[in-house]
Amino acid sequence: MKITKSLAITIGVLAAHLIFAYVLPYFAPYDPRRWATVPRDMPPSTAFLFGTTTVGQDLFWLSSYALRNSITLGILTASVSILIAFLLGATAGFVKNPALHNILTLCIDSFSLIPGLPALIVLTYSWRKYLSPILIALILSIFGWAWPSRSVRSLILSLRERPFTHTALLSGYSMIEIFFKEYLPYIIKWLAVSFLGLLTWAIGMETTIAVFGLSTLEEATIGSILYWALQYQAILRGIWWWPIIPILLLTTLIVTIYQLSNMIGELLGAR
């Protein structure tokens, strides 16, 4: 009962973030990305709920638009990473050819050892003139699939040694039938939880590189808002709401998704 109540609260908080990100931008009275549309450096009030920035942007509408871009980028990254992880991990764990198994395992292990943040900084710096949210998501996917792929491979190798696999083989089932009827439910449960983990990882990584000015600054994200707040020394000038409110939005979103991931993992594990 306690878990059910906590899960309902978590889903409610996440739904509020999604409404803020995907519904409210359509009601914006102006393009929130444009500069000099509202008075500058206004603190939060009834007229400007989140205050305004030094460049004349309404932080409420800008944060709504930016959160949508950050979540969409995270969803795209997680989707591509999970797809690659499933295909390579399942193939490496399922294939019986030793040479192919070793090649796939070497590829997975090699990408797992690449330090994500330094490599990401180098790539985004090299391609900074061509960056877009989609390209950033694809770059993040290069580093996001390896660890989930290792887990999928290990899971399948473990399932292949369990008694029900040998029983199914002796009963006349093929490995393909066993994979889809017996293995896939285990894998899908794990991938559902892993997807949420990759979602928060991708949002956090994009925010990190954006703070250094290595993300796309033409499309608003939570990271780009923080970048411009740092550039204009918002904290030192007393404009605390410019960086603090986006940080609070990002923190509550990541904590909510993390809690949801843990709860879903517990529910699926119980089943």
Which pair of tokens denotes residue 175?
A: 């490995």
Contact (CB, 8 A) for 117 and 208: yes
Which domain, by its residues, includes 192? Answer: 2-270
pLDDT number for residue 66: 92
* Amino acid letter, residue 58: D
Domains identified in the chain, total number: 1
Partners of 58 in beta bridges: 52
At 120-141, the pLDDT tens digits run 787 777 777 777 888 888 888 8
pLDDT-derived band of residue 23, with 50, 70 and 90 as boundaries?
very high
Contact (CB, 8 A) for 210 and 15: no
Q: Please check the confidence at residue 71 and state whether its pLDDT lies above 60.
A: yes
Contact (CB, 8 A) for 147 and 112: yes
Q: What percent of the chain has pLDDT over 70?
A: 97
pLDDT-derived band of residue 62, with 50, 70 and 90 as boundaries?
very high
pLDDT number for residue 21: 93
**Look-up: residue for tokens 């391609």?**
127
Q: How many other C-beta atoms can be found within 10 angstroms of the C-beta atom of residue 136? A: 28
pLDDT-derived band of residue 3, with 50, 70 and 90 as boundaries?
low
Contact (CB, 8 A) for 56 and 35: yes
Rounded mean pLDDT, 150-168: 81
Residue closest to 151 by CA, chosen among 186, 125, 116? 186
CATH code for position 123: 1.10.3720.10
Instruction: For residue 52, give the 3-state DSSP assignment.
Output: strand
> What's the whole-model pTM score?
0.86
Q: Please check the confidence at residue 175 and state whether its pLDDT lies above 80.
A: no
